[in-house]
Amino acid sequence: MPVPLFDPVSPRAPLRADLRAAVHRVLDGGAFVLGPEVEAFETEFAAYLGAGHAVGVANGTEAITIALRALGVGPGDEVVVPSFTFWASAEAIPPTGATPVFCDVDPDTMCVTAETVQAALTPKTKAVVVVHLFGNVAPVKEIEALGVPVLEDAAQAAGSVGADGRPGAVGTIATFSFYPSKNLGAFGDGGAITTGDAALAERVRTLRFHGSADKVDYVDIGYNSRLDELQAAILRVQLPRLDAWAAARAAAGDRYAAALDGVVDLPRATPGTRAAWHLYVIRHAAADRLHTALEAAGIGARPYYRTPVHEQPPMRQWAPSRPLPGTAEAARTHLAIPIGAALTAAQTDEVSTAIQRALVAA
C-alpha cells in the first residue's frame, strides 16, 4: 500500500466540528489580532510545558530572532548553532547583527552535545541555539553548565519529554513553530516563545509589537510578529490532544526500531527522552539509493539536510575552519521515512518491509 511521508488530515478528522466552532467563535467575537484566543492559548501552552510564560508570534523563524534580541544578542556577538538543522535555526541569527558559529552534532542522536558546543565557544559567544532535532531532546542542562544562555529551538519537539522536562521549559528561553506539518500545527504560520523569566517574557512582548507595550510609546526597533486569533483558536482545540498524538508518534518509532534494528542505523533518543518523533530519520550508507527504491514502491521518504547549513552559499562566509565530522556523516546518510500521529501498525510494517526488500535488492 502507498504510505505518505506525512498525513496531516487523519489526526484532525475527529476534531473538525470543534475546529469549525473555534473559527466561528473568532468570527463572531470580531477580535483578530492579540485578542482573547491568543491570551488563552499562551496561558494553556505555558501550563502544558511547565514554562512560566508563552508569547505567541508570527512564525518559528522570527521567534528565534526575537528571542535572541530579548537575550541582548547584537552586533559583535557570536551565537553557536548546529549546522545539521533546518536553515531557519541559523538564518534567524544574522538579523540580530550577531555572527553564527557552527558546531557539530552527534550523528546517532543528531543533536548537539556539551562537547560539540564547547568546541565552538569563544569569548564573544552570547548564546547557544540548541535544536531538539526531529523531536529528540538535546542535553540542555549539560550545555547550560558551560556558562552560556541556551535558546531551545523546539520547533520539531512539541510533545517530547526529556530527562529534565519538556522542551520549551528547560533552557533560558525557547522557540516553537506551529507550521502545519509540526507535531502541534496551525492552519498557516505561527510560533511561540517560552521562558521562565518574567522580564524576558515582557521584553519579547514588546519586541513582537513594534518595540512598544502600548502602541503609543516605542522603546526599541521591534517587529510586527504576532500570532493571530484564528491560529490561536485552532491550536487551542489541538493542544489537549498533543500528548496522545505524541504517544502515537513514539509508538510508531518503537515499531520501526523493532523491525529495522540491524538493518539500518536507527535514531537514538538521548538518555531519559521519550521522543515524539516529528521526523523518523534513519541512516544508511546507501541512503540515496534507498530513497529512490522507497519512492518507487509508493513509500514517502526524503533527505532533509543533505547540504549542511554552513555549506549553503549565504552561510559560507561563516563556515568553520575545523571539520564537523558528525554533521558530514548525518548529512550524507540520513533519510526520513513516514511518521505521524495516525500511522498504523500495518503502515509501519509496509515501510519496514519495503526497506528490507530494497536493501536486499541493492
Query: Is 55 within 8 Å of 204 (Cβ atoms)?
Result: yes
For 54, half-sphere exposure in the C-beta direction (CA atoms, 13 angstrom radius) is 26
Q: What CATH number is given to the structural domain containing 30? A: 3.40.640.10
Residue 3 lies in a domain: no
Whether residues 87 and 191 share a domain: the answer is: yes
Q: What is the pLDDT of residue 361?
A: 76
Average pLDDT, consecutive stretches of 10 residues, N- to C-terminus, the chain (362 residues) = 93 97 96 95 98 98 98 98 98 98 97 98 98 98 97 98 96 97 97 98 97 91 96 98 98 98 97 97 97 96 97 97 97 98 97 95 70
Whether residues 235 and 262 share a domain: the answer is: no
Q: What CATH number is given to the structural domain containing 304? A: 3.90.1150.10
Whether residues 203 and 250 share a domain: the answer is: no
What does pTM read for this prediction?
0.96
**Based on the number of CB atoms within 10 Å of its own CB, is 211 exposed (0-12), middle (13-18) or buried (19 or more)?**
middle
- CA separation for the pair 303, 36 (Å, rounded): 40
Q: What is the pLDDT of residue 115?
A: 98
- Residue 12 is given by DSSP the state G
- CA separation for the pair 137, 162 (Å, rounded): 6
Matching residue, cell 530513497: 291
Helix intervals (H) in 284-324: 287-296
Where do the DSSP E strands lie in 250-307? Answer: 280-283
Residue 1 lies in a domain: no
Domain containing 224 equals: 10-240
The size of the chain, in residues, is: 362
Domain count, the chain: 2
